[in-house]
Structure 1
């Protein structure tokens, strides 16, 4: 089955031909106004709206089956990944879809010359007056104001003819509000109302308890300070890459988050001397660069952490740094996806100007070059230590982006995301109320995104328990941060995970009601795996600090998977690609260190418990590199 949002949305279905005259049905409806926004007034009927109609893509009902065909360990086509061209051709909207939507518009009085089809045939574009849009969509457009002063145009719901609805994912602008608050026309520089995902205090970020008096680089002290020798001992990492000309590992950062070369040199000087003076291979996306205008843990902590450990663990393989977004507009996950997949660029598959940054900068002062579109090759493994809360995004937007991660899996890329640092609460320790609104003091669990997307590998956090050695079992991280985990409110349970989730819910039923989490037993559970996320020694702004977070767990896991790829590529095999069907299979039983203690508190509860087998705290457990290597080498 295809992983669909668990809400009633006609997002990714295909339709046979139907009569053009059909009843109006509600296509999307918003239950509440997001926090920080308030209704101002009805929009001017003669104002112009840039209507963008996202067309249903072909073969989406086959997406899981096609992905499993190249990712399932028992498949005869395991590892036979697709080309980008084949992916684009397979999922392009059908002629029927394009014609149905275009005929509806022209039949409603819109001149054919005004209706434009995007290059990849995935969006229909139309500049319409508010009056025209309201008539087409049977709705009313209103202006809303944010506490930052920004204004936004939206409607509460909209309707489409039934036969048209089956060919449309979603329409913009409509019910959707900003996932990131960008500056308005009067703002300039980084000090306006910018609040993109790379800004300090926004979304998922590592935490610190401050500077370290002295470094204890000894295995006996791994309960106090995690360094490279601790990670190698915990996970059995003994391997030096040899296929460096064929392998690749990418780490994504979002400006203004940036590393300092002096910090890399300081860390390498202590732990990886042969890397002193070396930098990641930077790929600038939409004006991204390693800014030095703003420094401090909030600006340098994430990137310093990711690169110091990522580069060291895969040395001598160069690490690709995808530095995304400029200092003014910033960027979203879709802006990055644009750069590594040309079929996903502006209005070509995923972008929404009300969510994603627009380039060239329409207001001046930012990156004035063209938006990066298919300009960067995707690495075999890509780690991202950032995240939104699932509830901040509409189900339609999340589903469309999630499908893009599946396409990357078809092409052989492993995509990792941190699961979050606030247990069953969302980033910022925000939970949900009974209506699904994000509120402080809420009692309903708040999953993170993209970690809940069933086409990415979500990484939780563990710790070496105080007083314990690296030879003793770890537990779920309960120092400073709690491993993000739980069950999606949008995405259905993927087939590869069904047996693991069923076992957990049957053998260890959570002591919570359906009013607290998605207790249907049919929802995507996360994380998938975990790695240490406590007490990392990181050089930040010229000092060593203790750092915590799934922000560390993801790049460390990515490094281990990159080493597995290296061994496979060295003997002429393919990269491992989308790993979830493989790691949940019986063939990989025992390939992870099972974590059975600890929990992930949040929303006024103790959260879920780590248990034998998969659990929504640490997933399948932490990597056992020798076991993973042997089992992946045994696959075709």
Structure 2
């Protein structure tokens, strides 16, 4: 297996100390390359040399080598600066690209024949853009551009690899358009106007269903058949009424066209949620995000209904839920679209936006959002849960790393980010696994980790279940009913310090017998971090009740628990939790989780990994127990 393992904090693929040199004396070096054409795409023709191409150079940010240490200062329980989170202006000042990086890249471009008036620096100083032609871009990057067609009809411009002068490499994270293939794939709906794929980002990461149910069992003795709010309260000890709801915040992220139906929330509330009938989440529309009700179906309403019904019920009517509805009905959205709205230093193509991959607004298409792109206009909630994800291999390492580091910056600002770990065990979305050349296919044999779950600066949530014949008072097992808990080892990110002891303990107790070429055995970020129930959830969707399964159910449940911990802390004048991983892996939090020691997470023709005492790459540290976690976090 080819390993793409990169340092956690690396923002450049060729990071090295280098003085500015004469471009004519600086040899070109390979900066990024792609080993295969992604599934569904076909190279059709060479791109005409006269076609205009807006080249964008993502400049290396300053002080990234200190990011992990700075995050630990406010996140480690033993730190004297625990909870002393940063302001957005402090973040912007600390990590802006240096004047040296800007001048190095600019001078090279001018020395290569690019007129100064064709070079534009983004407002946040994160990108240099060049109004170029294909011929000039190929000469600058030693690349060959081709047109690629997708089976859906989408077209894309890309190259197999590109190069940069040796002295420029330390100052550039990546260049677009180049090797990246995380393109938005449109689809047609009944009214025949263009729509993004259901579940974007991360097609295939939305909940699974075993169909409608006629009878609801809302008793503790039936939790092995149907999970309802009372089951979750019993499992995780979440018997708590918020007292600081006006000062606290909990955010759920949905990507258009996925949206909830108010009638479904009301139907669920009538059965399970006293006082929530007629109550809606607080909508924050980002780049034209809308709540659609024109085409009700499980595919469009299942995820959002699930997330909101359980989150709203578990935090009760005393705590408002913020719904971040992201993207219009034409272009949809990417994770970067959401991050742009939260952090003004990340928008305007700074921090990871790829003009050929991420939606750009205003959207001039019929029915598109015609306003300006949201840029640092949205206040992030204290806890944010997202039930979507990509396969790591869908993205280039540079793209994933830059986005991952943005989660670290938001952690510095006191935001807790939760992501579901995936529903296909050690395989990727769609049960795709990796081939030796890095491509993905249903018959691949190499484990295919997920992203952002593999990012070391988010908390990844796996799935457990109350197995048939067992009760809520017995230990849960790894979810092996309809879905399998996503987990494993990253191919992009090295192991963060906070989980080193836990992962090494697992490897010593459960030596992995698989050949080292089917998973990354080189010491990489391991996930998930913790887990919660992900099987047999009763949800109201499209006017009736269904059973659903997925880590997409587990993530908002954990988010609800952490939101109530924040409520207690805020009521005592303490700051919100922020990035929780250094805490939960520390010795201070032993006993804060219920261990999961039975089950595996199959995929790629294997049984996947084993659960065991302590951390494992199926259930993480285990499932949260609210009374213990509350006591531990209140003591900090």
Q: State if a TM-score over 0.5 links the two structures.
A: yes
* Higher mean C-alpha displacement, 344-353 vs 3-12: 3-12
Partner of 2:87: 83
1:260-315 Cα deviation digits (max 9, x unpaired): 11000000011112011000000001111110112111111100000000001112
Contact 1:197–1:332 (CA<8 Å) still a contact in 2?
no
Change (3 A) 1:454 1:7: closer
Equivalent residue in structure 2 for 1:59, among 46, 58, 63: 63
CA distance in 1, matches of 2:276, 2:6: 45
Matching of residues 490-505 of structure 1 within 5 Å: 490-505=492-507
Compute the displacement of 1:363 (Å): 3.0
Change (3 A) 1:514 1:603: same
1:33-92 Cα deviation digits (max 9, x unpaired): 111111111111111101000000001111100000100111110000000000011000
CA distance in 1, matches of 2:313, 2:189: 38
CA distance in 2, matches of 1:138, 1:66: 38
CA distance in 1, matches of 2:408, 2:163: 29
1:185-225 Cα deviation digits (max 9, x unpaired): xx899746644463599230101111112111100001011
Partner of 1:435: 437
Equivalent residue in structure 2 for 1:101, among 82, 88, 105: 105
Matched, 1:171 2:172: no
Partner of 2:521: 519
Partner of 2:572: 571
Compute the displacement of 1:11 (Å): 3.6
Contact 2:503–2:616 (CA<8 Å) still a contact in 1?
yes
Partner of 1:124: 128
Aligned residues: 629
Change (3 A) 1:220 1:206: same
CA distance in 1, matches of 2:8, 2:417: 23
Partner of 2:293: 292
CA distance in 2, matches of 1:215, 1:500: 40
CA distance in 2, matches of 1:205, 1:321: 17
CA distance in 2, matches of 1:190, 1:244: 42
Compute the displacement of 1:427 (Å): 0.9
Partner of 2:591: 590
Matching of residues 217-232 of structure 1 within 5 Å: 217-232=218-233
Compute the displacement of 1:544 (Å): 0.8
Matching of residues 438-449 of structure 1 within 5 Å: 438-449=440-451
Compute the displacement of 1:420 (Å): 0.3
Matching of residues 110-259 of structure 1 within 5 Å: 110-182=114-186, 191=192, 194-196=195-197, 198=199, 202-259=203-260
Contact 1:115–1:125 (CA<8 Å) still a contact in 2?
yes
Compute the displacement of 1:362 (Å): 3.4
Compute the displacement of 1:366 (Å): 1.2
Change (3 A) 1:6 1:341: closer
CA distance in 1, matches of 2:155, 2:10: 29
1:135-177 Cα deviation digits (max 9, x unpaired): 1111211111111222211111111110101100000011112
TM-score by length of 1: 0.96
CA distance in 1, matches of 2:80, 2:10: 35
Contact 1:430–1:442 (CA<8 Å) still a contact in 2?
yes
Compute the displacement of 1:5 (Å): 5.2
Contact 1:14–1:58 (CA<8 Å) still a contact in 2?
no
CA distance in 2, matches of 1:613, 1:8: 30
**Gaps in structure 2 of 5+ consecutive residues:** none
Matched, 1:38 2:42: yes
TM-score by length of 2: 0.96
CA distance in 1, matches of 2:446, 2:635: 43
Partner of 2:620: 619
- Which secondary structure state, in structure 1, belongs to the residue aligned with residue 167 of structure 2? helix
Compute the displacement of 1:17 (Å): 2.1
Change (3 A) 1:199 1:110: closer
- Which secondary structure state, in structure 2, belongs to the residue aligned with residue 39 of structure 1? strand
- Which secondary structure state, in structure 2, belongs to the residue aligned with residue 273 of structure 1? coil
CA distance in 2, matches of 1:188, 1:470: 42
Partner of 1:452: 454
Compute the displacement of 1:374 (Å): 1.4
- Which secondary structure state, in structure 2, belongs to the residue aligned with residue 604 of structure 1? coil
Change (3 A) 1:9 1:90: closer
CA distance in 2, matches of 1:595, 1:29: 40
Compute the displacement of 1:509 (Å): 1.2
Partner of 1:396: 398
CA distance in 2, matches of 1:12, 1:256: 39
Matching of residues 293-372 of structure 1 within 5 Å: 293-315=294-316, 316-372=318-374
Compute the displacement of 1:372 (Å): 1.3
CA distance in 2, matches of 1:331, 1:155: 24
* Higher mean C-alpha displacement, 264-273 vs 198-207: 198-207
Compute the displacement of 1:507 (Å): 1.3
Compute the displacement of 1:9 (Å): 8.3
Contact 2:198–2:300 (CA<8 Å) still a contact in 1?
no
CA distance in 1, matches of 2:189, 2:471: 52
Compute the displacement of 1:127 (Å): 0.9
CA distance in 2, matches of 1:190, 1:594: 49
> What is the CA RMSD across the aligned residues, in angstroms?
1.8
Matching of residues 401-550 of structure 1 within 5 Å: 401-520=403-522, 522-550=523-551
CA distance in 2, matches of 1:136, 1:144: 21
